[in-house]
Amino acid sequence: MSKPSFEIVKQVYTIMSGVQRSKALEVCTKLRIAEHIAPESSKSVGDLSKELKVHEDTLYRFMRALTSMSLFQEEEITDTNKTHGIFKHTPMSLCLRDQGVRDMVLMRGSPGQVLSWNGLFNSVKTGRTNHQESLNYPDLWEYLKDHKEEEVLFSKAMTGVTNMFVPVLLSFSDYSKFEKVVDLGGGQGLLLKNILANYPNIKEGINFDIKSVIENNSHGENLDKRYTDQSGDFFVSVPESDCYVLKSIIHDWNDECAVNIFKTISKSIRPGGKIYVYDLINDLNLKNEKNQAGWNDIHMLMVCNGKERTPQDWEYLAKHSGFKIDEIRRHSTIPNTLGLTIFSKI
């Protein structure tokens, strides 16, 4: 066998340095560097270091590393009287000025997320992630209960993702026939608030999540009177309703747990009621695609023992929980993207 080409080795090295790159992105976000450079302006590393209260030379070295990932751009200096180290934004660094993006970066870099990946070798061998070994807790959710800052950050990150997708979700959803909607695992309640705002026919909306999440929620003065926060456990019982919403929830759980969630809903769903599940629709017919679906799937395994499901996987859940699939909707023709799977009770 001939030696690999230099270009191929470079690609391997780039993948190998993924941990360092993601940590650099997290630190850049923590320092809020993007917010200290105006969108249409530039700033010297000297001024940046003073504002950020960090070591100037090390910041310059750090910024140059970030530019290799298209995070910021160092300006060319033609005037010999000027020093090097003047940086401006790129489209990617501008993205870090968005609160939702920042929260997601910080959440993905938090200890609970990072430590969970330490068990990847054993997960590939056994098919399960042992959080007792990686986190010293039975699962991520028990870990978050004892790590309040990470729990709040998790909720904020999920709200940020929801905020980006709300227009898309509502574009292929119809809530016009429901009087009551319950958002299971709704976090800070953003999706439910938007559903209520767009559907005056809904008489009541309940944002349902665990107690520690609900206790951290705060709302403005103009909160819709139809909106209510309620704490509970969707493995035990859920409020009666004619529509249940689960956005990015079922992919957190393995098949056994997912079936149990559906069975809990089955006890409370009104006649003719529906379950709206918003999750990625995984298409295994696509081979060797350079998209995020495969990574999302493995990430769900590592942090939650969950999975991103194919249409066949959704059929399995329906069959084993007493439901049937009415329809699977995708927001675009692009495979492996967020979709809506609608279930009704048999």
- Indicate if 186 and 242 belong to the same structural domain: yes
Q: Which of 147, 251, 299, 331 is catalytic?
A: 251
- Indicate if 198 and 332 belong to the same structural domain: yes
Q: Left (φ > 0), alpha (ψ -120 to 50) or beta: where does 318 sit? A: alpha
* Domain membership flag for residue 305: yes
Reported as a single tens digit per residue, the pLDDT across 226-263 is: 999 999 999 999 999 999 999 999 999 999 999 999 99
> For residue 78, is pLDDT > 90?
no
Per-residue pLDDT at 56: 96
Among 65, 97, 129, which residue terminates a domain?
A: 97
- Indicate if 27 and 165 belong to the same structural domain: no
Query: How far is the C-alpha of 168 from the C-alpha of 125, rounded, in Å?
Result: 38
* Length of the chain in terms of residues written: 346
Q: How many domains does the chain have?
A: 2
Structure tokens that stand for 76 in this block: 């060319």
* Domain membership flag for residue 60: yes
* Domain membership flag for residue 252: yes
- Indicate if 221 and 189 belong to the same structural domain: yes
Out of 201-205, 268-272, 279-283, which region has the weakest mean confidence (pLDDT)? 279-283
Query: How far is the C-alpha of 55 from the C-alpha of 27, rounded, in Å?
Result: 14
The DSSP code for 281 is: B
Q: Tell me which residue range forms the domain holding 47.
A: 6-97
Among 97, 131, 146, which residue terminates a domain?
A: 97
- Indicate if 86 and 156 belong to the same structural domain: no
Confidence of residue 176 (pLDDT cuts 50, 70, 90): very high
Structure tokens that stand for 112 in this block: 């609970």
307 CB neighbour count, 10 Å cutoff: 22
* Domain membership flag for residue 1: no
Residues 194-221 as b/e (b if ≥16 CB within 10 A, e otherwise) read bbbeebeebebbbbbbbebbbeeeeeee
> For residue 81, is pLDDT > 70?
no
Query: How far is the C-alpha of 239 from the C-alpha of 261, rounded, in Å?
Result: 13
Among 97, 117, 142, which residue terminates a domain?
A: 97
Q: What is the CATH number of the domain that holds 324?
A: 3.40.50.150
- Indicate if 22 and 123 belong to the same structural domain: no
**Start-to-end Cα distance in the chain:** 59
Helices then strands, counting H and E runs in the chain, come out as: 16, 10
- Indicate if 226 and 296 belong to the same structural domain: yes
Closest CA to 140 of 261, 252, 249: 252
- Indicate if 109 and 92 belong to the same structural domain: no
State yes or no: is 131 an active-site residue. no
* Domain membership flag for residue 283: yes
- Indicate if 156 and 244 belong to the same structural domain: yes
- Indicate if 162 and 84 belong to the same structural domain: no
The phi and psi torsions of 176 (rounded to 5 degrees) equal: -70, -15
- Indicate if 182 and 222 belong to the same structural domain: yes
* Domain membership flag for residue 299: yes
* Domain membership flag for residue 286: yes
> For residue 91, is pLDDT > 70?
yes
Q: Alpha helices, DSSP H only, in the chain?
A: 6-16, 18-31, 45-52, 56-67, 91-95, 99-108, 111-116, 120-126, 131-134, 140-145, 148-171, 190-198, 211-215, 255-268, 293-304, 311-319
Query: How far is the C-alpha of 344 from the C-alpha of 326, rounded, in Å?
Result: 7
* Domain membership flag for residue 122: yes
Closest CA to 314 of 304, 324, 322, 306: 324
- Indicate if 313 and 197 belong to the same structural domain: yes
Per-residue pLDDT at 84: 74
pTM here is 0.89
Reported as a single tens digit per residue, the pLDDT across 98-130 is: 999 999 999 999 999 999 999 999 999 999 999
Structure tokens that stand for 11 in this block: 């690609």
Q: What is the CATH number of the domain that holds 77?
A: 1.10.10.10
Residues 157-171 as b/e (b if ≥16 CB within 10 A, e otherwise) read bbbbbbbebbeebbe
